[in-house]
A = this chain, B = another copy of it.
Amino acid sequence: MTSSSAALSSSPSSAAASEGIAAAAIRRLTALTPLADADLTLLDTAADRALTYPVRHTFQTIGRPVADPLLLLQGWAARVRILPDGRRQFMSFYLPGDVIGSTHHAHPIASATVVAITECVACPAPAAPAGSGLAQAYAVGEALDEAYLLGHVVQLGRLNAQERISDFLLEIYERLSLAGLTVGGSFEMPLTQEMLADALGLTPVHVNRMIQQARRDGDLMWKSGRVLLRDPERTARTIGRLSPQVTGTQTMPQARVD
């Protein structure tokens, strides 16, 4: 039953068994695609086997076989790569409702290390019957994953520091909204500025300065682990962020595509 055993750091403590522990994850999955009662039952059952993982727990390690997929119920995890000289890059983040280590088939070697950013609660991702809503939800989730990854590439390649921060926070805001984890435009941000820097390809110092400027400009509030975006939609338009939801209806400038 213990899905991921050999952890480098500390190992998962036995589960917290309270109900509703999977609420956010379920909200997020149903937001992706409608789920039938059978799907919800699967999820509830799986949630009974949820475990709590401490901060820094390593879900999977680059170059080692991936374990069975986990459905993240609470907390944040991240895919990270550390260079030999210590430089660190966060490649993506897992939020409640995301599946860690989903591997439809493919070779079982992890292409990235996944660590818990905060304390996490996760359960084995229930196998989805072919054609079920749950299967569809997984599929959409994976597609979104890739879309976010592509977005991250654009962000790192072509946005300046200010834009990267806005774009990142907007993405998180969007994703947490799906899970019902935002309150009046604000949300919990467990990342330190240093981690944010390592996600955005910047220096902690510079991230700090840009955040302060955004604060001065009245674009955001960020205090004690909670972020409030003043006008998400305006900001999104300003930096030309295309949210996955909107993607479907948005056209690209025809200009240079060669």
Contact = CB atoms under 8 A, between A and B. Distances in A.
Interface of A: 8-9, 55-56, 58, 61-63, 79-89, 91-92, 103-107, 109, 111-113, 115, 117, 135-136, 139-140, 142-143, 146-147, 149-150, 152-154, 156-158, 198-201, 240, 244, 247-258
A157 B201 contact: yes
A249 B79 CA distance: 19
Contacts of A113: 252, 257
A153 B154 contact: no
Contacts of A150: 79, 81, 91, 111-112, 149
A79 to B, nearest CB: 7
Contacts of A140: 106-107
Contacts of A153: 89, 91-92, 149, 152-153, 156
Contacts of A248: 63, 109
A135 B107 CA distance: 12
Contacts of A252: 61-63, 82, 113
A139 B88 contact: no
| From A82, A84, A252, residue with most partner B Cβ within 10 Å | A252
A257 B143 contact: no
A201 B160 CA distance: 11
A37 B188 CA distance: 55
A154 B46 CA distance: 34
Contacts of A244: 111
* 7 tightest Cβ-Cβ pairs between the two chains A and B: A157-B201, A156-B156, A111-B147, A84-B240, A106-B143, A106-B139, A105-B139
Contacts of A61: 252
A79 B84 CA distance: 29
A252 B56 CA distance: 15
A63 B251 contact: yes
A253 B104 CA distance: 29
A63 B249 contact: yes
A126 B82 CA distance: 38
Nearest to A199: B157
Contacts of A86: 253, 255-256
Contacts of A258: 55-56, 115, 117
B247 A63 contact: yes
Contacts of A201: 156-158
Contacts of A112: 150
A174 to B, nearest CB: 15
